[in-house]
Amino acid sequence: MIPYSGLLFFYILLLLLIPAIILGVNGKPLKRYGIIANIIALIIIFGNSKKQIVLLMLFYIGELILIKTYLTVRKTYGQRWILWIVVFCSLIPLILDKWGNIIIVNRQLGFLGISYLTFKVVQILLEIYDGLITEIGILDFTYFLLFFPTISSGPIDRSRRFEQDIDKILSKEEYITYLREGIWKFSTGIAYKFIIGVLISNYWMNKIPTSHTLLNTLNYMYSYSFYLFFDFAGYSLMAIGTSYILGIATPENFNMPFISKDIKDFWNRWHMSLSFWFRDFLYTRFVMAALKKKRFKNRFTASYIGYFITMGTMGIWHGTQIFYLIYGIYHALLIISTDYIERKSKWYKKAKKSEAWSILFIFVTFNLVCFGFLIFSGYLFKK
């Protein structure tokens, strides 16, 4: 069963959340019940496929052993090459899922949410190396890794933040605030995904003729961009709303991305948990290591190569088709161009503060973003 996809899931979700609400409004701890509800939800989500359950459990056990082993090794050996070996090992299930058809005949080695679970594991490994995580409780790790509201498509939380939330006992007043926020987010998510998203899909996007004329292409570009936002933002809001009702303030994923003034601003508003993850754990680390080892004469060169690596990886992460990689490179070029103009143009810096020019910048950015989504959709690559 795919989360947030049908009436049966919503009915089961309601039954699971009612005890949490009763506990919360009475000022009782939510952690124990949250773990129980999480187990029940996982059984329901994965219960219709023995293969999915087996793969999920193998992934969980393997990653837990890997993290526990590295936690012990890190106390004695702090070499970076050990970290990269461990990180690569953590990525093997995802690699087999994405490229298993090249390595072996049977490609179906993945399960629902494998990408987002892998991001969580890598984050823990990197923060163990940094010394920010010195111990891992199996129960807390399990709850974090397999947290059902966000298991299929995020948002991507951070383990230390998550653990602070589950260990915090909310007062009655604090929980009621969480409950109101959760219900509002969940309701907004339903409206986004099942009303606005469906209307865009049925009465706009699906009505466009299949012939690839310029007009049809532009029509599809805008319809797909709006559909993608409302569908994914709707899902994210439902996941975040569910989390709040369970007493966990899962981070936001979208912040009005279509009013961004430039591409950098866009990536601070679109799929934020993913873009911030890549920024913190790939881009920043690459640039800092490159500058420390003086691999490039110019710090901007390191930054721009970092953008290519980061956005290219993000593109490949979405899928193995060539248009995903092109999408990533396209955004890398846009970010680099924006950064260059910001540094070289005094007019641009002043114009961004002007309301009149800001409207133009928003319009240009919106169209650049929509063209990127057109690439992402694969529409241009269909015959």
Q: Are 282 and 310 in contact (CB under 8 A)?
A: yes
- How far is 51 from 309, CA to CA, in rounded Å? 34
378: which DSSP letter? T
> What DSSP element (H or E) covers 97?
helix 80-103
Indicate the residue type of 151.
I
Amino acid at 202: N
**Which DSSP symbol is given to 194?**
I
d(CA 150, CA 238): 9
CA 309/CA 132 separation, integer angstroms: 25
DSSP character at residue 279:
I
Query: For residue 14, what are the CA distances in angstroms to 37, 244, 260, 290?
Result: 11, 14, 36, 50
- Phi-psi domain of 136 (left: phi exceeds 0; alpha: psi -120 through 50; beta: other): beta
Catalytically annotated residue among 212, 271, 318, 331: 318
Cβ–Cβ < 8 Å for 380, 374: yes
Residue partners of 92: CB distance under 8 A and separation at least 6: none
Task: Let me know if 318 is a catalytic residue.
Answer: yes
Residues 44-61 as b or e (16 or more Cβ within 10 Å = b) = bbbeeeeebbebbeebbe
Q: Which residues are catalytic?
A: 318
